[in-house]
Amino acid sequence: MTQTSPPGWHPDPGHTGTGPLHERWWDGGRWTDHLRVPPAAIRRRRLRIGIGITAGAVVLATVGGGLFLLSDHSGGSKDDAATAPSGAPSRGPGAPGGGGRGGGGGGGAPERQLPQTEDGYATDVVSGISLPVPDGWTGTSGIAGAGVTTGEYACPGNTSEQCVRGGVFSMPAKALKLDTTTAKATATKDISSNAEESYGEKIYGGITSHQQLKSGPVTVAGEQGYLVRWKVVTKSGDDGYVQSLAFPSPHAKDMLIVVRSGFDIAAKAPELSVMDDITEGIKAASGAGSGPGTTA
């Protein structure tokens, strides 16, 4: 970025080549500490698990007692400058002024960085949770949302798109435009959207039928939640399992979190038991830092 470039989200200039590439906020004069998972990366599956914040969605959540305003826009438009978080500058290699990380105060929303990445976990900062990363899977931490995926392959019906055999993604319920107030109502309402966004697109031929395999209360990260799991049959491509799990954030009891899961039913897809293992392994996030993600 140059001094004349407008504010916006851009590839992180401090990326070392290790772990997933995030975008960093350029405030028009310097790089800030604010990172996010690129919307394109979240949606890349077509998502098969459709768990990205849609363009223009704004999340207002309480994190550690402070208000945190987030916005997800595709590209670095002027609208981004109006809603993106401001905070302390951080200069990575290639950033204006040279390498290294700096610090300092900033106005607007409280300064928030990605939490310290723990080995084997992907962290969703706003939700206040960490997802376990099974062996051989890839985990991506983010300010609003986290995910773990495995088994990339060309999508059926459209080989220019990349799909994954299994994926689990977290997001605040409000970011998915869910206005329900209980975990049960949220999971029950979300499962159809999850299934449609995972397997209902044209490149999969749509869903011809579904069967509910499981529903009921579950304890997640010490909170009382609720999950609904379906088996879906597609017209073309592999069938799949989808699950919507909802529970209160361990750091903000009035904020509901949704964790969407989707596994293909195929020889190279993960076993359904792995979905249970990931659900049981979700925990409250701890620590603070700037790690961009983890690969197990």
Q: Is the pLDDT of residue 122 over 60?
A: yes
Cβ-contact 292, 41 below 8 angstroms: no
pLDDT tens, residue by residue, 166-179: 999 999 999 899 99
* Secondary structure element (H or E) that encloses residue 247, with its range: strand 239-249
Supply the pTM of this predicted model. 0.64
Who has greater pLDDT, 120 or 205?
Answer: 120
Bridge partners of 216, per DSSP, are 227
pLDDT tens, residue by residue, 229-244: 999 999 888 899 999 9
pLDDT tens, residue by residue, 193-213: 999 988 887 777 889 999 999
How many other C-beta atoms can be found within 10 angstroms of the C-beta atom of residue 222? Answer: 11
Who has greater pLDDT, 171 or 14?
Answer: 171
Q: Cα dihedral sign for 81, 84, 86, 89?
A: negative
Instruction: Look up residue 163 and give its two tokens.
Output: 């799909």
Could you tell me the pLDDT band of residue 54, with boundaries at 50, 70 and 90?
very low
How many other C-beta atoms can be found within 10 angstroms of the C-beta atom of residue 41? Answer: 18
Could you tell me the pLDDT band of residue 161, with boundaries at 50, 70 and 90?
confident
- Please, is 59 exposed, middle or buried when counting C-beta atoms within 10 Å of its C-beta (0-12, 13-18, 19+)? buried
29 secondary structure, DSSP code: S
pLDDT tens, residue by residue, 55-110: 222 333 323 222 233 333 333 333 343 334 333 222 222 222 222 222 222 222 22
Cα Rg of the chain (Å, integer): 19
Cβ-contact 263, 240 below 8 angstroms: yes
Q: Is the pLDDT of residue 262 over 50?
A: yes
* Secondary structure element (H or E) that encloses residue 68, with its range: strand 66-72
Looking at residue 17, what is its pLDDT? 56
Cβ-contact 124, 144 below 8 angstroms: yes
Q: Is the pLDDT of residue 287 over 80?
A: no
Residue 278: helix, strand or coil by DSSP?
helix
* Secondary structure element (H or E) that encloses residue 199, with its range: helix 183-199
Looking at residue 218, what is its pLDDT? 98
Could you tell me the pLDDT band of residue 291, with boundaries at 50, 70 and 90?
very low
Cβ-contact 115, 285 below 8 angstroms: yes
Looking at residue 4, what is its pLDDT? 59
Please provide residue 152's backbone torsions phi and psi, each rounded to the nearest 5 degrees: -70, 140
